[in-house]
Amino acid sequence: MDVVDAMNSRFTCRAFKKDCQIKKDTLMLIIKEATRSPSWANTQPWEIYIAGGEVLERIRNQYMENFRQDVTINPEVPWVEKWPSEHEERIKDLGVERFKHLGLSSEDEQVRKESRKLNFKFFDAPAVVYLCMDKNLTEWSIFDLGSLSQSIMLAAQGHGVDSAPAVNLVSYPYILRNEIGIPDRLSIVFGIALGYKDRENPQNTFRSSRRPLKEVLTLKGF
C-alpha cells in the first residue's frame, strides 16, 4: 500500500473488533516507521506510551465510570472555548450526516449520549497510543506531534490496522498517569485508538465529507 492509498483508505474507526488483539511486533513496527516523522531541528519531542490488555481495560472501566457519573473532563491541552462559526457549522454537519447514515436522529439527546459514550469506551479498541511531550515545550512541538499522529495512522493503515484519533482518549490525565506511569514532567497531548475494524458495524461505513480545494486553497503565480 502506498501513501496515497493509505490516506484514501484511512478513516476514523468507531467500532473495533473487541477480541482481536494487535501483535506487539506489529505495534513496534508501526511506531518505528512513524518516528521517521519530521520535527523542528530534529528535536523529536514525542514520548510515546501504548496501553493494552489488562492495563487498558482498567483505564477503560474508569473512563466509563466517570462518564456515567458525568465527571468533568480535564485534558491537559485546553479545549477550544469558542469555534469560529464556519468550524462550528462543520461540526454540526458532521453529526447530522453521521446520525442520518445510521438512521438515527441527531436531535435525540439519548442518541447523542450513546454516541459520546463510544469515545469513553475507546470504541472497544485493543490498544491506545498516548502522545506526550515535555511541559516546557510550546505549540510548535504540538505541531510535530500532529505530524507524528498522521504518520502513526498511515503506518497502521499500511499494516492493516485501523485507527481513531480522539481528544476524549486523554480526557482524564490522572487516570492515565496512575495506570501507565506517565511522569508529571510530561504533558499528555493526544490519543489514538488502534485495532481492527468491525466490518459488520454501520459506524464503520460512514465517511465524512471534505471541503473542496477551491474553498481551502489559494494559488499565486501559477
Domains of the chain: 3-81+121-204 (3.40.109.10)
- Residue 39 CB burial class (10 angstroms; 0-12, 13-18, ≥19): middle
**pLDDT tens profile 68-126:** 999 999 999 988 989 999 999 999 999 899 999 999 888 888 888 888 999 999 999 99
pTM for this model (two decimals): 0.95
**pLDDT tens profile 141-175:** 999 999 999 999 999 999 999 999 999 999 999 99
SS3 148: helix
Pairwise CA distance, residues 24 & 34, whole Å: 15
Pairwise CA distance, residues 22 & 196, whole Å: 8
Confidence bin at 191 (pLDDT 50/70/90): very high
pLDDT of residue 105: 85
